Structure 1
């Protein structure tokens, strides 16, 4: 990952090109070899202007730290990245367990949190600006405390981006401030002050995510789906596992240990019903090899209450034609089922953060946000799916025809992730 740009909790913290441009206004001797097309990739400034000059001064550009109520904020000239650590190493580890005899059991492999440490050069014109710049950075790195303080999003670039597109963008989630910001050194110049600052972030979710696969970004009108009369549960009745070849019919194995029952959907319907089926195809050619994928479901409920939603993920070797996958009951990889969503609500089920939210308009307090119950196959417990094979995929969305109102739209973003970058 490059250290010339970082966006935390939707606030630009580091932008080396911006800092270098503002420093040149006051002839400060700042050497910067930052990515030249960074401002264009961020869509900063007037891209049609000739010449293209993305940055003018903190006040004119309304730089992230600029506050018209604080005059000293105009004398903060920016934050330039100097170094970053914590991205290039995997977080996976395991603890072997010694056996009574020779050797050890491997133990369970798990991924710990990720610690990311930045070294930044803050450039200011005077002591007042220095004080304000430190105040702003400390506040910005605190982020926002929502959803049980699970942290915010960190956006970085894996390499210098090109002007067109943001394929180099990477994201981390559940990120919060671990330590700092700490001033390591101060250098006083004739026209300004250079402050060398370090701070550390902790990513509770260690994965590094890319942008969603392009083939999954299309929104679908669920009212235009194919009408089918089906019982979604029959797919599990039709796909039975192979019998154990060691099972003796004359001497059956003892019964399995009784497990603690898992709560199921108390209102889960059974039997056939009329559904609208929408199928999304993810071709194999769009899936990077050897990278995991997780889904992000976004759904806007239309004019009526939606009383049954089934999102089913099926494997497909080609991903181009889902007809065969729909006929194969054993192609089902994972199920997501939600029993009820009110009219006009917005649902997000995010496999990156493993959180689900529903936003509803209310008469008294405006928008209300809550967490919906999620169920798996046949109303059983839901498990967050991770698709580890570089295959194509068929995503099947089923909603009852009677409850799918006008304006019901959905898309399922497929996002790849890595353990180092």
Structure 2
């Protein structure tokens, strides 16, 4: 990975290009020299600036500058030296030795990802160093004005693209976005450790101005994600095909209908026949058996649109119009759907949305597994109570593999408003 830029949540915690610019403009001890510059020269332009950084008190986007504390202008930033844990996906599988020979294997697990970071904290004075250490410790605990300890996303660049002074802004954006990566649900799990202090302040020849520090972050969602790709925008459920359906695959008496098995079962003809256990009586079972008048919209993700040697998951956003929407079902089916049986027996992931307020956007986040809604007045709410998966369990996003075709099936009530729109983003996670 490229060590030159790290952003945790809304806070940029390391930016070598910014630090080098501040040091060259005087935010450093005279005994501190820049021997090498491993930053990406186009980083400020990828981040939306039109010029390079100047000084903490001049740049409005400086994350640590505080006009009430003069020491904040004497802090040049954080220069990462080593970042471990962002290269490959962690794996854990227990090996169970056999009594005589060989052995077996436990369940394949993807444990949390640990990220170890070593960096330099650089000040122009001892006061600037002390301020920087305090600011970095606070930034690792939480974003400004937010409760500390909440998991956040860690953003970084996989590599620094080649430098070309003739590139247009759109080309810089495209190159940076192609290398942009994200790890979700990240939090600090070990405190900031000062390993070494050096570079004495030459004005009095005492007091360090640079510290080598280390800290540990842990990602609850262990995969590294690429920049989301918009797969489809503006699907209109109101234009779907009218039909009558049951929201659950339940036959008469509450028994699950069986799909044809790829491999048959060997049974003893002299033994009693296999039977299907009846479903427990519940309101959900009754509702699932009742036919509803609905509208169905289908969209097919063509083969080859996603990488072959990486897994992808789809995040779905449903945006409502002036009326509330209820009973919106989102399903994914492998391949191209030709009949109802393809959906009944081929569904890979299903989410049943019970309610979405008017003029709101509900997102099924495939990275975190959360369902959230942004209401008309801008409130962000947890939508978990109104979203369920198949047969009332938790909803799960499907994993789209091998660059195959998949079909998105959206069922709504027939009175769905014509302003309702559905957008789908594909998120690729690295092996």
Name the TM-score class by shorter chain.
Answer: 0.7 to 0.9
Residues 276, 399 of structure 1: 8 Å contact kept: yes
Pair 252,244 (structure 1): closer, same or farther in 2 beyond 3 Å: farther
C-alpha distance in structure 1 between counterparts of 2:284 and 2:247, whole Å = 14
How far is the alpha carbon of 1:207 from its aligned partner?
Answer: 0.9
Alignment RMSD (CA, Å): 3.2
C-alpha distance in structure 2 between counterparts of 1:147 and 1:67, whole Å = 20
Q: Aligned ranges for residues 68-217 of structure 1 at < 5 Å?
A: 68-143=67-142, 151-161=151-161, 163-165=172-174, 166-186=177-197, 187-188=199-200, 190=202, 193-216=209-232
Residues 268, 379 of structure 1: 8 Å contact kept: no
Residues 296, 409 of structure 2: 8 Å contact kept: yes
1:287 pairs, out of 306, 314, 338, with: 306
Q: Aligned ranges for residues 225-244 of structure 1 at < 5 Å?
A: 225-233=239-247, 239-241=259-261, 244=264
| Partner SS, residue 286 of structure 1 | coil
How far is the alpha carbon of 1:230 from its aligned partner?
Answer: 2.8
Q: Aligned ranges for residues 11-410 of structure 1 at < 5 Å?
A: 11-26=11-26, 29-30=33-34, 31-43=36-48, 45-46=49-50, 53-62=51-60, 63-143=62-142, 151-161=151-161, 163-165=172-174, 166-186=177-197, 187-188=199-200, 190=202, 193-216=209-232, 218-223=233-238, 225-233=239-247, 239-241=259-261, 244-248=264-268, 251-253=271-273, 265=284, 268-316=287-335, 322=336, 324=338, 328-329=342-343, 330-360=345-375, 367=379, 369-373=381-385, 374-379=387-392, 382-402=395-415, 404-410=416-422
Residues 89, 223 of structure 2: 8 Å contact kept: no
Residues 176, 203 of structure 1: 8 Å contact kept: yes
Residues 319, 422 of structure 2: 8 Å contact kept: yes
How far is the alpha carbon of 1:150 from its aligned partner?
Answer: 5.8
Pair 263,66 (structure 1): closer, same or farther in 2 beyond 3 Å: farther
Pair 77,149 (structure 1): closer, same or farther in 2 beyond 3 Å: closer
C-alpha distance in structure 2 between counterparts of 1:118 and 1:25, whole Å = 27
Residues 6, 15 of structure 1: 8 Å contact kept: yes
Pair 74,381 (structure 1): closer, same or farther in 2 beyond 3 Å: closer
Pair 241,417 (structure 1): closer, same or farther in 2 beyond 3 Å: same
Residues 20, 32 of structure 1: 8 Å contact kept: yes
C-alpha distance in structure 1 between counterparts of 2:361 and 2:375, whole Å = 7
C-alpha distance in structure 2 between counterparts of 1:234 and 1:346, whole Å = 25
How far is the alpha carbon of 1:271 from its aligned partner?
Answer: 3.8
Give TM-score scaled by structure 1 length.
Answer: 0.84
How far is the alpha carbon of 1:82 from its aligned partner?
Answer: 1.5
User: How big is each residue's C-alpha offset from its partner over 1:150-185, in whole Å with a ceiling of 9 and x where there is no partner?
Assistant: 611000111114613201111111110122322222
C-alpha distance in structure 1 between counterparts of 2:283 and 2:311, whole Å = 28
For residue 166 of structure 2, what is the aligned residue in structure 1?
none
User: How big is each residue's C-alpha offset from its partner over 1:207-244, in whole Å with a ceiling of 9 and x where there is no partner?
Assistant: 1111223434x243433x32321305487859433572
Runs of at least 4 residues off by over 6 Å? 145-148, 258-264
Residues 336, 382 of structure 1: 8 Å contact kept: yes
C-alpha distance in structure 1 between counterparts of 2:280 and 2:272, whole Å = 24
| Partner SS, residue 3 of structure 1 | strand
User: How big is each residue's C-alpha offset from its partner over 1:299-327, in whole Å with a ceiling of 9 and x where there is no partner?
Assistant: 222211211111110212xxxxx564778
C-alpha distance in structure 2 between counterparts of 1:92 and 1:129, whole Å = 41
| Partner SS, residue 136 of structure 2 | helix
Residues 213, 286 of structure 1: 8 Å contact kept: no
Pair 232,35 (structure 1): closer, same or farther in 2 beyond 3 Å: farther
Give TM-score scaled by structure 2 length.
Answer: 0.82
User: How big is each residue's C-alpha offset from its partner over 1:285-342, in whole Å with a ceiling of 9 and x where there is no partner?
Assistant: 22111212222122222211211111110212xxxxx564778334432211122222
Pair 266,302 (structure 1): closer, same or farther in 2 beyond 3 Å: farther
C-alpha distance in structure 1 between counterparts of 2:315 and 2:91, whole Å = 24
User: How big is each residue's C-alpha offset from its partner over 1:96-126, in whole Å with a ceiling of 9 and x where there is no partner?
Assistant: 2233443222111212211111122222111
Aligned length: 400
